[in-house]
Structure 1
Amino acid sequence: MRVMVCIAILLAVAGCGYRPVGSGGVSALQPSVKTIGIGTLKNRTLRPTILPALKDALVRRFAAEGRIRVVEEGADVLLDGTIDGFGEEPLAFTKNDTANRLRLNISFSFTVKDRLEETVFLRDGVTGVAFYFTGTGISETRAAEDEATFRAIVDVAEQVVSRVLDGV
């Protein structure tokens, strides 16, 4: 009886098209690609600190994923991109019509191309989102905004790596 159950489970899993998340079966990249370089990143916003933070987040996320290695020189493919926008939308207000809950958005467009042949494997864009509450003073509000900015950058990096490696 135990053998029959095991066989039934194996047949069900084999025939359903199941693919473990993170297995890389739908990657935008060729299977031969083992390294990626972070190429030119541009910032079209008035927030100069988000560009180095995004580059660091991308490197950390690719390293955590482990399927492709980030290198400084000689990469198989290059990721180039532009931070296109940084915006905040008020979502809730106090009795005095002051925003006290905001949604922060960071938009990033990018391409992944073969370093030598300039063939574009992927051209896409993502938007990182984070929410925050304003504080009772300027310094508290600024700290909350900075923390939300970091979370939105991490969200951008996660989406980019997911699109590059898994096609989703």
Structure 2
Amino acid sequence: MIYIYNDYGGTHTTSLAAAYHLKQLSQSERELSTEEILNVKYFNQLTKEDFGKLILHGVDEDGHSVYTIGRKRNKYVVPALKEMSLLLQEKFKFDEKIVFSNTSPTVPFTMSMGGFFSRGLKIDFIGVPLLVKGAKQCCDNIYRLVQNTKEVGRTTFSEDVIILENKMYK
């Protein structure tokens, strides 16, 4: 199975989701520390050149690959990737389920502003503290989104490619 977490930039909530998925972050009743957030692989590190690239974060405990992608505002990226995946599955007869999971519904306003200042305007002294605050606000929602994504991957047998919009986290 392949898991692909996606959102606008592909560097904040997607990186946190991948870290939770790969158990690089552990869920507990406590809030994540600033250090934990800033040490997540790719968190606030990707640039505009990375949009549209599938970035491998690792392989989970069940042997499933975990990727992220930043899709900007383009609502056609994930459906196009689904169609490409189905085409390749049919043509090359590979039997790998793919789950696309949208992390955008977990993004608080604070994180959006932090990303705008840090990634968009390159003003890290304003953006990074806002990103950290936003990550602390949404870490529980991201954790629950990841658990739901993994459960859907384990229990949905009739589809080869699944797209989760995750609207329940808005």
Q: TM-score, normalised by structure 2?
A: 0.33
Higher strand residue share: 1
Q: Which has the larger radius of gyration?
A: 1
Scaled by the length of structure 1, the TM-score of the pair is 0.34
More helix by share: 2
